[in-house]
Amino acid sequence: MKRIFCCIFIFSFVSIFSQEKEFKFLYNEGELFQIRSEVFEDVYVNGEKSHYSEIINKISGKIEKVEGDRGFISARFFMTEKILHNGKSYNRLNQEYYTEFWRDSLGRYDIKPVYYMPVVRDVPHFSGSPVSVGGQWVRLAYEYHDFRDFFGIPKPVSFPISVSYEYRGEVSKDGKNLDLIVVHYDIYSRQVDLVGSSGIVPILFSGTVDQEIFWDNNLGRPHSYREKFEITVLLSNGNFIEYVGNARSVYVVNDELNKKELLESLRKEDLDDVDLRETDRGISITLSDIKFKPDSSELEDGEIIKLKKIAEILKKYPNRDLLITGHTALRGTPEGQQSLSEERARVIAEFLIANGVRSSDRVFVQGKGATEPIADNYTEEGLAKNRRVEILILEN
């Protein structure tokens, strides 16, 4: 159970007077964007430290259309956790979400209740009037949380928050003149009607959150944000969990990926036992019948040459993140298959990182076990095809 921060900031402002600014969300139809956040938190259970976590999350979104002062946004959320293995780290993809919503110029969401993301909604929510340096306002917002895995609660758990804002004026950050808005809210929400399959449910949320939101005056879009938080969750069995830490995030606008052109370029490369295809999320490079030593994640010597060639090819396309997915044949237990598939994906990720293909924060790893076969698991040929690793060059 971890606290995940996924505020989406897509906003700009219009200067009214030299001492006042009116803040509004502006939307550019077709724009692709990323929000990359890092969370560093200590987790305590009943007052005793349980563990420390580093979480790297990535939000890939697109402004699909604009109507009046509203933008319709689709987004995919990659929730990852940094895992240490033999002195090296990799980012394990724990959960992936899709969401879509409308949002108006002041920051108010129109989103269906079935979506779990983003966690924080209607932040920032602008005042609708010109604001001077030192100007303050308060608006209602909401947090939504996914407790399906932890407590078997089938629907998003939500509660309101009263958010205070203050405009602090221009600041210098990363060599730019940016505008700073500070945000504060307290959390206190009792949950009296939650029912989950585990029998244990959260009954009280409390804590504080402080944010600093920066955005670029010249580009008219967010630059970054910083956050500090202390959150406590009281459970129905009397235990309580505390999350104490900080987060930071940066907003990036991407050029559209020409998937057909990239696919044709990859097909000109001399690659054996590799399947190339276009997907709705990017370009897939599937290493068919990749050879690991039996029941192991250790590569056979002959695979190193192939991977070095793929590494050199991937270096030609440095602006896209990679999602590496391991698959196994239907052998052993489901738990063993899951563990082995993730291990195999990790081995490929570490190889690509070590060979300078991407930095570790731009490579995500997941295992699918034997849940997505592409061939018959009862023939040697089918087993070989199912024993594979997919490298996905992400579109955004």
* Mean pLDDT score across all residues of the chain: 89
Instruction: Judge whether 52 and 43 are in contact, CB under 8 Å.
Output: yes
Widest CA span in the chain: 74
Q: Extract the tokens encoding 192.
A: 């009296």
Name, in order, each residue with C-beta under 8 angstroms of 251's C-beta and a sequence gap of 6 or more: 9, 10, 33, 34, 35, 221, 222, 223, 224
- Give the pLDDT of residue 16: 39
Q: Extract the tokens encoding 392.
A: 């996905």
Read off φ and ψ for residue 240, nearest 5 degrees: -135, 145
Q: Using pLDDT thresholds of 50, 70 and 90, give the confidence band for residue 301.
A: confident
- Give the pLDDT of residue 12: 43
**Mean pLDDT on 149-176:** 94
Q: What is the pLDDT of residues 242-291, one digit of tens each?
A: 999 999 999 998 888 889 988 998 888 877 778 999 998 899 999 877 77
Specify whether the backbone of 247 is left (phi greater than 0), alpha (psi in -120 to 50) or beta. beta
Instruction: Judge whether 51 and 245 are in contact, CB under 8 Å.
Output: no
End-to-end CA, the chain: 27
Q: Using pLDDT thresholds of 50, 70 and 90, give the confidence band for residue 2.
A: low
The rounded distance, in Å, linking the Cα atoms of 76 and 58 is 8
Select, from the ranges 18-22, 68-72, 288-292, 375-379, the one with the highest average predicted confidence (pLDDT): 68-72
Q: What is the DSSP letter of 299?
A: B
Could you tell me whether strands 131-132 and 136-145 are parallel, antiparallel, or unpaired per DSSP bridges?
unpaired
pLDDT over threshold 80, residue 295: no
Instruction: Judge whether 103 and 115 are in contact, CB under 8 Å.
Output: no
pLDDT over threshold 90, residue 293: no
The rounded distance, in Å, linking the Cα atoms of 386 and 328 is 6
The rounded distance, in Å, linking the Cα atoms of 272 and 57 is 34
Instruction: Judge whether 214 and 180 are in contact, CB under 8 Å.
Output: yes
Name, in order, each residue with C-beta under 8 angstroms of 336's C-beta and a sequence gap of 6 or more: none
pLDDT over threshold 50, residue 13: no
The rounded distance, in Å, linking the Cα atoms of 386 and 375 is 6
Name, in order, each residue with C-beta under 8 angstroms of 320's C-beta and a sequence gap of 6 or more: 257, 282, 393, 394, 395
pLDDT over threshold 90, residue 3: no
Higher-confidence residue of 272 and 36: namely: 36
- Check the CA dihedral 285-289-295-297 and report its sign: negative
Give the number of C-alpha atoms closer than 13 A to the C-alpha of residue 96, restricted to the C-beta side: 10
- Give the pLDDT of residue 11: 45
Q: How far is CA 363 from CA 59, 105, 351, 375, 389, in A?
A: 14, 34, 11, 27, 14
Peptide bond into 118 cis (omega under 30): yes
Q: Tell the residue number behind the tokens 């849940």, with chain if given.
A: 371
Q: Extract the tokens encoding 149.
A: 């895995």
Q: Extract the tokens encoding 295.
A: 């029941």
Q: What is the pLDDT of residues 102-153, one digit of tens each?
A: 999 999 999 998 999 999 999 999 999 999 999 999 999 999 999 999 999 9
Q: What is the pLDDT of residues 326-351, one digit of tens each?
A: 998 888 899 999 998 999 899 999 99
